[in-house]
Amino acid sequence: MPRKHDIDTVTIHCIVGQWTAKQGVDFFASAGRQASANYVVGFDGSIGLCVEECNRAWTSGGKLTAGGMTGSQNDQRAITIEVASETAHPYAVTDKAMEALISLLVDICRRNPGIGRLRWEGDKALVGQVERQNMTVHRWFANKACPGDYLYNLHGQIAAEVNARLDAMEQAEKPTVDSTPSDWAKEGVDWATRNKLMAGDGKGGLMLHSPITREQFCVMLKRYHDERENLV
């Protein structure tokens, strides 16, 4: 069913069973189930898509409200993830499941500008105030332990790890500005830039340590030729 709200939240659940993602997806897909999730993360680190992100899943049901919202309203705006867990308190998950969950969350944040980064305060009064907290938990909407104390207590760390990876990826994708000459080249580089013989990337980066092509070399030679009377 299409969502009635833009995606701006994530909700992590525990599945209460050490299943693979495929087992989880098959379970939710079986006829008559009144439950689903956008994603299932298996104990073995497998990840399954159960309900496409553009559609709401029926994951966070319950009779309670938090921040004036019901679990059903939460699912209209949240990407919900069921993670395979132990069947008893504190519903621990495997390290492989945790790693897969974090990778999945990084991917979700990158593809959904309405989420961007993860924010967690552990405060159910903040439900819906996504600029302060955009992670919610099922226990706020129903008398349930979900997502279990194990995952609940790690929410802050999960957010920090996801955000750190997002920062690192953003940093790695930034073009490196290469405008600092080696000591032995400084005089020559200063002369060439002062006389506009070399334009670099045209946006301020001199590309000093990038290889030069024959056509670039010709352009620089011609600039030198044309400006030879005026060089300073």
Contacting residues toward Zn ion, per CB under 5 A: 13, 138, 146
Rounded CA separation 34/17 (Å): 18
CB of 17 to Zn ion, least distance (A): 13
Buried b / exposed e over 40-76, threshold 16 CB at 10 Å, is: bbbbebbbbebbebeebbbbbbbeeebbebbbebbbb
Q: Residue 13: which of 137, 150, 154 has the closest Cα?
A: 137
CB of 146 to Zn ion, least distance (A): 3
Is 38 or 192 the residue whose CB approaches Zn ion more closely? 38
Is 80 or 133 the residue whose CB approaches Zn ion more closely? 80
Is 138 or 159 the residue whose CB approaches Zn ion more closely? 138
CB of 36 to Zn ion, least distance (A): 11
Is 81 or 109 the residue whose CB approaches Zn ion more closely? 81
CB of 133 to Zn ion, least distance (A): 18
CA atoms within 13 A on the CB side of 15: 28
